[in-house]
């Protein structure tokens, strides 16, 4: 469902992503982990069609992001690392606004927004302006907004930052549910326990290149760390790179 082919991004002197090749199957949850500056956000921005690769391709459900960006973007729900919210809108207004952008059928917008507000425990806040939301509430609203057009692929950069334990559980359960409904999920995170618990496969990126990918067992094999947890695997792979 997601294919990155020889994907490269060069910011002048910095080679942020270096010839990355990666595939994510339909319904899979793929975790993307790596040190600060490894190239996660750059990769994710290229996947979402926010920035153009220097070379290589992003293919979403067989559609080349460069050749048909509108069609590719309609398949994706995108949650950036630093989301932009129109803070003078209410949560409900914001969801409707996003749905309009994605050309969601008018008669399903309100029920869909209500359903998502309910799912993210924001119903009581639906008609309050976003300015009054806490950080975690804004984060939940952003994820709800990314789901308004019922995307088949969800790409999230750092979904759990600043969420309380109940909200982390809420988002994890929601992502697992979506995957059961065959939504393909690509998620970057620094919270390794969440990656371990949530993801079918994990890719470790360092200096713009994949060091290893696979299940925890496969990563343990690659790192020769026996039966260790993800933290040990991660630190070993980075140390030896
Ligand atoms: N707009 C830009 N112009 C120049 N260099 C950039 C730009 N954006 C990112 N970089 C550089 O590209 C590299 C990869 O950055 P990126 O933000 O993709 O990393 P990251 O893995 O998301 O890191 P973090 O874990 O801190 O979010 C870094 O060296 C960064 O300084
Ligand atoms: Mg980042």
Look at residue 154 and give its three-state secondary structure.
strand
Which residue pairs, CB below 8 angstroms and at least 24 apart, start in 159-168? 159/79, 159/187, 159/189, 160/189, 160/191, 160/194, 162/135, 162/136, 163/136, 163/139, 164/136, 167/121, 167/136, 167/139, 167/140, 168/194
Does any ligand 1 atom lie closer than 6 A to the CB of residue 33? no
Domain containing residue 145: CATH number: 3.40.50.300
Q: Is 37 in the pocket of ligand 1 (CB under 6 A)?
A: yes
CA of 133 to the centre of ligand 2 (A): 24
Ligand 1 atom at minimum distance from 35 CA:
25
pLDDT in tens, the chain (241 residues): 999 999 999 999 999 999 999 999 999 999 999 999 999 999 999 999 999 999 999 999 999 999 999 999 999 999 999 888 999 999 999 999 999 999 999 999 999 999 999 999 999 999 999 999 998 899 999 999 999 999 999 999 987 888 889 889 989 999 999 999 999 999 999 999 999 999 999 999 999 999 999 999 999 999 999 999 999 999 999 999 8
pTM: 0.95
Total of domains in the chain: 1
Residue span of the structural domain in which 113 resides: 2-240
Pocket test for ligand 1, best of 4, 9, 35, 39 (most atoms within 8 A of CB): 39
């Amino acid at each position: 469902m997601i294919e990155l082919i020889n994907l490269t991004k060069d910011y002048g002197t910095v080679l942020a992503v270096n010839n990355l090749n990666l595939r994510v199957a339909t319904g899979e949850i793929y975790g993307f982990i790596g040190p600060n500056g490894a190239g996660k956000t750059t990769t994710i921005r290229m996947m979402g069609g926010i920035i153009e690769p220097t070379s290589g391709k992003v293919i979403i459900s067989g559609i080349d992001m460069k050749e048909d960006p509108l069609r590719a973007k309609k398949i994706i729900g995108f949650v950036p690392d630093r989301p932009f919210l129109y803070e003078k809108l209410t949560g409900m207004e914001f969801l409707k606004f996003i749905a309009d952008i994605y050309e969601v059928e008018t008669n399903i917008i309100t029920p869909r927004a209500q359903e998502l507000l309910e799912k993210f425990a924001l119903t009581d806040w639906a008609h309050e302006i976003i300015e009054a939301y806490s950080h975690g509430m804004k984060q939940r609203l952003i994820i709800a907004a990314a789901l308004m057009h019922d995307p088949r692929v969800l790409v999230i950069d750092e979904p759990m930052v600043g969420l309380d334990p109940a909200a982390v559980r809420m988002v994890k359960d929601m992502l697992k549910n979506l995957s059961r409904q065959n939504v393909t999920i690509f998620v970057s995170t620094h919270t390794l326990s969440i990656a371990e618990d949530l993801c079918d496969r994990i890719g470790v990126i360092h200096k713009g290149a994949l060091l290893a990918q696979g299940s925890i067992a496969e990563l343990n094999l690659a790192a020769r760390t026996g039966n260790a947890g993800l933290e040990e695997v991660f630190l070993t792979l980075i140390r030896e790179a």
